[in-house]
Amino acid sequence: MLQTPLILTGARAVTADGTREAWVRIENGRVAELGTGDPGPGERQDLGGRLVAPGLVDTHIHGGTGHAFPDADPDGVREIVAFNRRAGVTSLVGGLVAASPRNTLRQVEALAELCDAGELAGIYLEGPFIARSKCGAHDPDLLRDPDTTEFDAWLRAGRGHVRMITVAPELPGALDLIGAAHSSGVVAAVGHTEASYEQTLAAIDAGARVATHVYNAMRPLNHRDPGPIAAVLGDERVTVELILDNVHVHPGAARLVFDAAGPDRVSLVTDAMSATGLGDGEYTLGELRVRVTDGRAHVVETGAIASSTIVLPQAVRNAVAAGVPAAEAIRSASSVPSAALGLSGVGSVEVGGHADLVVLNEDLSVDAVMYRGSWVA
């Protein structure tokens, strides 16, 4: 059944070309037209000059509202999705952490079902092929060397929904795994690594195209030993993730990333865990206990910084507070991550794309959210 066209007037649309005054016509769950002048027939809604931005896209998130993707619980996943959608994040890639081979396979199979149902935009495996010395909030006992046979099993279980995997380039078999991922259409990300500058460049040459939460769980930058940070910031083939909760990365260091890589290569992510949306207390991330105090999450046993507890619009506001123009910050949380993982029809306000939109106030707080042409918040 065809829906009556909805025309959003009085809008400032954030598009790939910047921000411009335009009305947006919504038909059958998609953006049908952007224009100026008379929009023609349809139900009109005046937005009073507010920003209309793409629904945000979080490609590195582990949970929220007391649930986690590694739990592989369909009802819990739906709650994570609904919570984020109401907040303005309309596309999620479900993130897994290091687990046993059997559990990893079970988790991938369960999330693939939710991808088939349209709840998730894909599956991301942050472990287990990462460095023990940079394990962060991953159980070191569950880490292992890259194995293309295990990776192939994930691909079969994921039925085309595995979108990204993090690999430490210095591990035995890492370049073979990165090459296998690249050839199969899965994005290989460099992260949780002690890799040298040269090893990181070799990984990029083998097909790695994303840097997992740059700075964090990564060999630090040194002027005589630049390591992975200099390699990924300096290579135009790489999109760099940034957790901009002002806990994982100082705003000054975040601005340096934007200046070095440019806004078209910075992907804002949350790395959010189950505590997001709830509050302080003790939670789990995979097999590890995590304590949240004043919104900051740390592994109980080691004290290592764990996932964040923010939702993606907060990262956008933090980027703007750090000096990034609003339109660039919004694209870093929408079109950049979408393009990095090859997600179709999301992350931009464009004709033919899904009508996943977020209406923002002047202070970039979320005023309303549309998903597939219907208001959900």
The residues annotated with a catalytic role in the active site are 271
315: tokens are 């990262």
Report how far residue 274's alpha carbon sits from residue 276's, in angstroms, rounded to the nearest whole number: 5
H or E stretch covering 8: strand 6-9
Q: How far does CA 116 lie from the centroid of its chain? A: 19
**Which residue in 138, 272, 136, 266 sits closest to 214, CA to CA?**
266
- Collapse the DSSP code of 218 into the 3-class scheme (helix H, G, I; strand E, B; otherwise coil) and give the result: strand
Report how far residue 55's alpha carbon sits from residue 348's, in angstroms, rounded to the nearest whole number: 8
- Cβ neighbour number for residue 303 with a 10 Å cutoff: 9
Q: Which residues contact 318 (CB under 8 A, 6 or more apart)?
A: 244, 245, 246, 251, 254
**Residue 220 CB-density burial (10 A; 0-12 exposed, 13-18 middle, 19+ buried):** exposed
**Residue 308 CB-density burial (10 A; 0-12 exposed, 13-18 middle, 19+ buried):** buried
Q: 3-state SS of the chain: helix, strand, coil percent to 5?
A: 30, 30, 40
Q: What are phi and psi of 116, to 5 degrees?
A: -60, -35
Q: What are phi and psi of 287, to 5 degrees?
A: -100, 0
In Å, how far are 71, 109, 193 from 330, measured between CA atoms? 30, 32, 29
